[in-house]
Structure 1
């Protein structure tokens, strides 16, 4: 992925929605080229069908792990390998995941900080989260970080900026992004991109209407405005 962009997640409240395939078709028709789903909500065969559909539509595939116990996370990572996704986002057990990903082409973006509950919440001070981010980014098998910034109780702009400054790898901001000003904050911080799921599926993003095609168009328009102001500058994921 090159340039500041967003990943459309086929999820609501950290679960893949039952009608994900319908929404994936809408997103592909709208030109969205980064589409993901969670490891919770649909059985593996349905996720396999989603992955095939997304790839056939010319988009990159993302699986975000929100299972918090080690055994469930390991099972989800093995599923991601079987599915052949392009990116593995989230998860909190990097020491167990990294050996599983050796020899694959999957790009791994784990959660920094202390993540609890479902939907996931990011706990801890900014200093603790930054320390975790630096430690994770030091692993060669970690391609970037998946930061639940808007699921934390602290100063969100300061947190995103601090993590992006502390690590040399791309940072994706995940969870609870539903307004243009948040996207601008993420962009200014130096993050590589962000995820949007519930807010688009529920029609909450400011747009011409609540229909998904309008939601995705409005989010894309925020990106287009950024690209124009930056003269088309690209950044590497």
Structure 2
């Protein structure tokens, strides 16, 4: 079995924490290779500085845009390009955002389903989300941002069925906040999964670096399903 990779999100309740740069500096030597944050919470100059620090530390970078209009999503993509991020996650898919990402070498991973509110909530039928994903992949997106544990239905069933059906990178994002959910993520085998708020609520320990390493080691050591 492949081990899903952790994306450390320096976010709480879908907003970047104000001291994200200081927190990253304290935890950059952890085992996590993937790092990111949201488009809300820091001004663009501080975002650029933080992404530059992440790249200097050898990390791959993610920007997740919690936006539900094409205009807001495109603005998020523009910020991502200016900051030099590797992956743009989120936004409601649009051809214009997709084209912008392709032109600016951003690996685009849009939401599927009906996404509302902030923190985000996901609704919709599993089959429809799978069909959406196939449509977007046919248009050239890199992968899919699945808000699996924000789902109003059976979250584990969604994650399991979606990842099995979609032959592309899938990131399970949002509300992975317990070892029980880590077990489910391991069984579903997405490409990546995010943890943000749960780290700041100390669900996996005290210091961030220690929590990251605990999650990393736990995922590497969990037995096959």
TM-score category by the smaller chain? over 0.9
User: Residue 223 in 1 paired to residue 219 in 2?
Assistant: yes
Deviation of 1:195 after TM superposition, in Å, equals: 0.1
| Contact 1:113/1:133 (8 A) holds in 2 | no
| Contact 2:32/2:213 (8 A) holds in 1 | no
Deviation of 1:98 after TM superposition, in Å, equals: 0.9
Residue number in structure 2 paired with 1:65: 65
Deviation of 1:186 after TM superposition, in Å, equals: 1.5
Distance 2:6 2:32 in 1: 9
Distance 2:181 2:5 in 1: 13
* Cα shift readout 1:155-210 (whole Å, capped 9, x = no counterpart): 112101211122110111000001122122122113112000010022123x3xx2
Give the aligned CA root-mean-square deviation in angstroms.
Answer: 1.6
Distance 1:139 1:223 in 2: 33
Flag structure 1 segments of 5+ consecutive residues without an equivalent: 231-237
Distance 1:134 1:102 in 2: 18
User: Residue 121 in 1 paired to residue 121 in 2?
Assistant: yes
Residue number in structure 2 paired with 1:235: none
- Pairwise mapping of residues 181-200 of structure 1 onto structure 2 (< 5 A)? 181-200=180-199
Deviation of 1:3 after TM superposition, in Å, equals: 5.2
Secondary structure of residue in 2 paired with 1:91? strand
Q: Name the count of aligned residue pairs.
A: 223
Distance 1:31 1:189 in 2: 22
Secondary structure of residue in 1 paired with 2:64? strand
| Contact 1:148/1:173 (8 A) holds in 2 | yes
User: Residue 166 in 1 paired to residue 162 in 2?
Assistant: no
Secondary structure of residue in 1 paired with 2:103? coil
Distance 2:3 2:52 in 1: 24
Task: Provide the TM-score with structure 1 as the length reference.
Answer: 0.88
Distance 2:95 2:186 in 1: 30
Deviation of 1:17 after TM superposition, in Å, equals: 0.7
* Cα shift readout 1:201-229 (whole Å, capped 9, x = no counterpart): 22123x3xx22222112211212214xx5
Flag structure 2 segments of 5+ consecutive residues without an equivalent: none
